[in-house]
Amino acid sequence: MIRSEILATGMHVPANLVKNDDLSSMMDTSDEWIRQRTGIEQRYWADATTSTSDLAVEACKKALSNAKVDKSEIDMIIAATLTPDHEFPGLACFVQKKLGIPGVPALDIRQQCTGFIYSMSIADQFIRSGTYKKILIVGAEIHSKGLDKTTVGRDVTVLFGDGAGAVVLAAKDVADPKKDSHILSTHIHADGTFAEELWVEGPGSGVGADRVDFEKLKEGYHYPKMNGKAVFVHAVKRMPEVLQEALTANNLKPEDIDLFVFHQANLRINDMVAKQFNIPEEKVFNTIQKYANTTAATIPIGLDEAVRSGKLKKGMLVASAAFGSGFTWASAIYRY
Ligand code: UT7
C-alpha cells in the first residue's frame, strides 16, 4: 500500500535571541510571570531585513539535504503560515521562487497553530492517491513584526517567537505497517464560531470600505487579540479529544506511542494533556522553553530538534496534536 513517509526534517530560527528579561524593558512583564504561566524562557525574533520566506527556505534546504533529495524531485510545496511575506501571493510562491523550483504547485495553508498538521493531511492525500511522490512541507512564522510591544499587547506578545520547520514527505510502498515509516492517519477539525477569540482583525475586507482603515490602525486592529482563558479552556478539551480520535482510529493505546510532539502554545496545556493520558514526562518533547510559540512551525521544529538530540529515531511511533486560532484542532500518528 502506498503511504507517505517523512524522509527528513529541517529547521531554522533567526539569530536574534530575546530573553524574557529583554521583554521587561519594553513592557510591564517579568521573567517570573512568563515562565510560571507559559514555560517560555526565550524566543528568537528576526531582524528588519528577514522575511518569513527567508526562514522557510533555510528550513527547506536543511530538510532536503537531510533527506538527500534534490529540489528537482519535489512535486509540490505546501507552506503553512499566518505571517506571510505579503498579502498575496502566498508564502509558498515566495519559497518556490527562492528555492528555484518553478512549475510545481505551491499551496498556502492558513490554519494557524494547526497549519502543519493540516498540511501533512493534505500532502498525505496527494501521496496516497498516487498524484505526487515527493512533497515539501514548511511551517514558518515571523510574529515579531506584527506584535504590540507595549504593555497593552503583553498578554499576546510574550508568547510568540519566529522560526521555521520543514519536512520532506515521500511515497512509500509500505509492506510492514508495524515497522515501515509512514503516516498512519491525520484528523483535522475547525469551529469558526470562535474565529474572533484569537485573531488579527485587519487589514481585511471585513472591516469596511477599505482594507486598510487608518483610524483602526491607530487603535491597533492589526495586532493579534486573544481571549486567553477561552483559548486555554478549549485547547485542554480539544487536544485530548483529537489525540484520542487518532489513537482509536489506529487501535492504539497511549503507551504504544514512543514520542509525543505537540503544538507549543503553553507548557501548562501540554502538561494537562499528558496528565490525562498518563504519558510519562520523558515521552513529551517540548521546545516552547527555547523558541516560544512559533505557530505553524512548532511541530516541525520539535521533530527536527528531537531527531538532532537523538530522542527521535527511525521506526519510532509519534503522535502530534495541535489547537489554535479558528478555532482549529488536529492530530496525526506516524511512524518516523
Ligand atoms: O497557539 C495559539 C493558542 N494560544 C494559546 O493556546 C494560549 C492559551 N492561553 C494561555 O496560555 C493563557 O491564558 C495565557 C498564558 C495567555 C495567560 O495566562 P492566564 O493564567 O490565563 O493569565 P490571565 O490572562 O488570567 O492574566 C492574569 C494576570 C492579569 O492581571 P490581573 O487582571 O489579574 O491584574 C493580566 O493582566 O496577568 C496579567 N498579565 C500579565 N502580567 C505580566 C497578562 N499578560 C501579562 C504579561 N506579563 N505578559
| Nearest CA, atom 20, ligand 1 | 37
- List domains and CATH numbers for the chain: 2-173 (3.40.47.10), 182-335 (3.40.47.10)
Check if the beta carbon of residue 164 is closer than 8 Å to that of residue 58: yes
293 vs 143: CA distance, rounded Å = 9
- 198, β-bridge pairs: 226
Phi, psi (degrees; rounded to nearest 5) at 159: -85, -20
Catalytic annotation, residues: 113, 263, 293
142 vs 136: CA distance, rounded Å = 20
Helix (H) or strand (E) holding 36: helix 31-38
Please write the tens of the pLDDT for every residue from 249-292.
999 999 999 999 999 999 999 999 999 999 999 999 999 999 99
Task: Measure 82 CA to ligand 1 centroid, in angstroms.
Answer: 21
- pLDDT value, residue 18: 98
44 vs 287: CA distance, rounded Å = 12
Task: Measure 226 CA to ligand 1 centroid, in angstroms.
Answer: 10
Choose one of 27, 35, 37, 199 to mutate for the ligand 1 pocket test, by most ligand atoms within 8 angstroms of C-beta. Answer: 37
| Nearest CA, atom 35, ligand 1 | 155
Q: What is the arithmetic mean of pLDDT over 68-80? A: 98
Q: What is the mean pLDDT of the chain?
A: 98
Beta strand 225-226 pairing with 198-199: antiparallel
- pLDDT value, residue 157: 98
* Residue ranges of E strands in 121-220: 134-141, 163-173, 182-190, 198-199
Peptide bond into 232 cis (omega under 30): no
Task: Measure 33 CA to ligand 1 centroid, in angstroms.
Answer: 9
135 vs 69: CA distance, rounded Å = 11
Three-state secondary-structure class, residue 155 = helix
Q: What is the arithmetic mean of pLDDT over 19-30? A: 98
- pLDDT value, residue 76: 98
Q: What is the arithmetic mean of pLDDT over 156-179? A: 97
Q: Which residues of 173-198 are buried (b: 16+ CB within 10 A; e: fewer)?
A: ebeeeeeebbbbebbbbbeeebeebb
| Model confidence band, residue 42 (pLDDT cutoffs 50, 70, 90) | very high
Q: What is the arithmetic mean of pLDDT over 115-121? A: 98
Residues 177, 322, 105, 303: is their CA dihedral positive or negative? negative
Of 197, 206, 258, 199, the C-alpha closest to 232 is 197
Of 210, 209, 217, 188, the C-alpha closest to 326 is 188
Q: How many C-beta atoms lie closer than 10 Å to residue 105's C-beta?
A: 14
Please write the tens of the pLDDT for every residue from 181-230.
999 999 999 999 999 999 999 999 999 999 999 999 999 999 999 999 99
Per cent of the chain over pLDDT 70 is 100
- pLDDT value, residue 297: 98
Question: Could you write out the three-class secondary structure of 256-294?
Answer: HCCEECCCCCCHHHHHHHHHHCCCCHHHECCCHHHHCEC
Three-state secondary-structure class, residue 305 = helix
